[in-house]
Structure 1
Amino acid sequence: MAALFLSAVPMGTTAKEEMERFWNKNTSSNRPLSPHITIYSWSLPMAMSICHRGTGMALSAGVSLFGLSALLLPGNFEGHLDLVKALCLAPALIHTAKFGLAFPLMYHIWNGIRHLIWDLGKGLKIPQLYQSGVVVLVLTVLSSAGLAAM
């Protein structure tokens, strides 16, 4: 064990010295501290990637909360459905709520299919990324409206 320490070579700089060198270099170059805000402009594929992750988390949380509420709330599903029917909500409000529930699910499904196609190595050129993005958005709106109309 002692032989291991005898062969150790001391470091040239400490962590504090390295950090000071890093910050001195960056402040002298006048670079922005957060390049993603100033350098990258928003693009459709970037926004759709962020939304895909967001809808995945929202759907996961929604299903978890629905299951938890089914376990903890008194009564059964039919009773809660009768309560909602008794509110006499306007058809436009009901249609909008159904569309709002269907939209994240349909977006996540259609964009997931798009990602599976990418996994096959197809549609990876920049113009195809934008075309498939528009197709996903159109299919999402149409399928969400169709589900909401049911």
Structure 2
Amino acid sequence: MDRFMPLPPSLRHELLGARKAIVVAQIELRSLRIALALKRFNPSQPRAPAGSPNGGQWVGEGAPAHPSEKPRSASENSSGITLAGGFEQNQLGMRVQDFVSAHCKGKIRSVLPGQFLGVTIEDVMKAAKGGDSAARTCLKILGRDEYRK
């Protein structure tokens, strides 16, 4: 004798529908978790070198990757050479538009404040130091490695 009674077709259909809804919800939840993880991931964030005690772990901007290292600014490496995020002395007299054309990817134009295109980088720096938030944004965007060629 069978221990379970067979379900009527209408109830069986409802049960399958409920199972399907649960599976769809689980898939949506997984995709949201992946999207959130990708949103927080920044491939250019510095990591501690493999040989150090904290090897592979994320370190903050300008923080030493190894406890024996000295903190340094984000715009210079150990040899003192300016990295992509900074400006060299000969670039300060360039207009922002000329700098963008020579050193940046085209996608920068969609986020760069347009009022500074005809202004020199040096003048944008002065405006930023004077408290102009749009000038600070302009410098920040120009300094991002993701927009550099």
TM-score, normalised to structure 2, is 0.23
Say which structure is richer in helix. 1
TM-score w.r.t. the length of structure 1 is 0.22
